[in-house]
């Protein structure tokens, strides 16, 4: 199956997953003409469905209540590539495909797993409290991976998980990069840029 034609295999059916088909060059005023196709897969995982990413092979990775699953356009696989991991059965809360081909998965109450080919590396909550409920990832220009979770912000660099200063607010929802390659952090208190070790308010209550 050609990953580039992933969506061409959709089959109509009951609600289980939905994809939006669109035409290149469509104008905003024509958005009402987009068509949603809905179908079911007999081996679809149970929810909640919390994140999506496109894996190194071009297929869709789905973070679900049954862990990380791989969607090939027809059905769902376990995305383990034949490698059994202790993370099997954990609830996946976030997934991210890094530039070099690594896949990062956040798990509720367990930590973060890095999948590098057949190799698995787990950064556990008991060693890194800031990984308690991972919500998003971001890779900076140096290849370091930033992790936003309910417990704060961390950066994983050269196999070391380094907690960062706690951002304002109770929950850190997202971390993304600014044009200057600095972390932008969205919390329940506002939007902030982490610069020189302190959070600069961008929007919100900060």
- Enter the DSSP assignment of 126: T
pLDDT at 126 over 70: yes
User: What is the percent of the chain with per-residue pLDDT over 70, rounded to a whole number?
Assistant: 73
The answer to whether 135 touches 149, Cβ cutoff 8 Å, is: yes
Distance from CA of residue 33 to its chain's centroid?
29
pLDDT tens digits for range 158-199 = 889 999 988 888 888 899 999 999 999 999 889 999 999 899
- Enter the DSSP assignment of 123: E
Q: Is 29 helix (H, G, I), strand (E, B) or coil?
A: helix
pTM of the model: 0.75
Distance from CA of residue 137 to its chain's centroid?
6
What's the rounded Cα separation, in Å, for the pair 70 and 50? 14
Can you list the alpha helix ranges (DSSP code H) found in the chain? none
């Amino acid at each position: 199956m050609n990953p580039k034609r992933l969506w061409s295999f959709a089959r109509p059916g009951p609600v289980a997953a939905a994809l939006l088909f669109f035409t290149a060059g469509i104008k905003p005023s024509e958005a009402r003409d987009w068509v949603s196709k809905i179908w079911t897969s007999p081996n679809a995982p149970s929810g909640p469905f919390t994140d999506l990413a496109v894996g190194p092979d071009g297929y869709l990775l789905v973070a679900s209540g049954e862990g990380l699953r791989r969607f090939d356009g027809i059905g769902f696989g376990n995305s383990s590539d034949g490698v059994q991991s202790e993370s099997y059965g954990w609830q996946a809360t976030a997934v991210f495909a890094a530039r070099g081909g690594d896949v990062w998965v956040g798990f509720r109450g367990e930590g973060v797993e890095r999948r590098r080919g057949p190799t698995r590396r787990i950064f556990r909550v008991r060693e890194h409290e800031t990984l308690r409920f991972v919500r998003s990832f971001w890779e900076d220009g140096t290849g370091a991976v930033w992790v936003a979770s309910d417990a704060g912000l961390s950066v994983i660099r050269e196999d070391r998980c380094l907690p960062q200063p706690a951002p304002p607010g109770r929950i850190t929802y997202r971390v993304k990069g600014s044009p200057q390659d600095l972390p932008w952090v969205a919390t329940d208190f506002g939007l902030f840029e982490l610069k020189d070790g302190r959070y600069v308010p961008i929007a919100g209550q900060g």
